[in-house]
């Protein structure tokens, strides 16, 4: 993942919201605030997916992972 000093203000806020979230829906909302396809988006998306489903990713998740 990019160094924290390279994050935009909006990316930093979304990252902080993700870290401080108390529920799955709060984490999902934080991820939605990121630019789809960005490094931080994929990092948090897959971190969240692994928390929810472990290593049992969907076929579409596997495509995104590649």
**pLDDT digit string (tens) for 17-47?**
999 999 999 999 999 999 998 999 999 999 9
pLDDT value at position 60?
Answer: 85
Reported as a single tens digit per residue, the pLDDT across 45-55 is 999 988 888 87
Q: Is the pLDDT of residue 3 over 70?
A: no
What's residue 27's pLDDT?
Answer: 95
CB 14 within 8 A of CB 31: yes
Q: What pLDDT sits at residue 65?
A: 79
Q: Could you tell me which of 12, 51, 45 has the C-alpha nearest to residue 31?
A: 45
Please tell me the pTM assigned to this model. Answer: 0.79
Identify whether the C-beta of residue 64 lies closer than 8 Å to the C-beta of residue 42. yes
């Amino acid at each position: 993942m990019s160094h924290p000093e390279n994050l935009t203000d909006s990316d930093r806020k979304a990252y902080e919201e993700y870290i401080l979230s108390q529920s799955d829906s709060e984490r999902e909302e934080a991820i939605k605030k990121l630019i789809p396809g960005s490094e931080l988006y994929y990092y948090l998306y897959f971190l969240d997916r692994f928390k929810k489903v472990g290593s049992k990713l969907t076929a579409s998740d596997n495509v995104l992972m590649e």
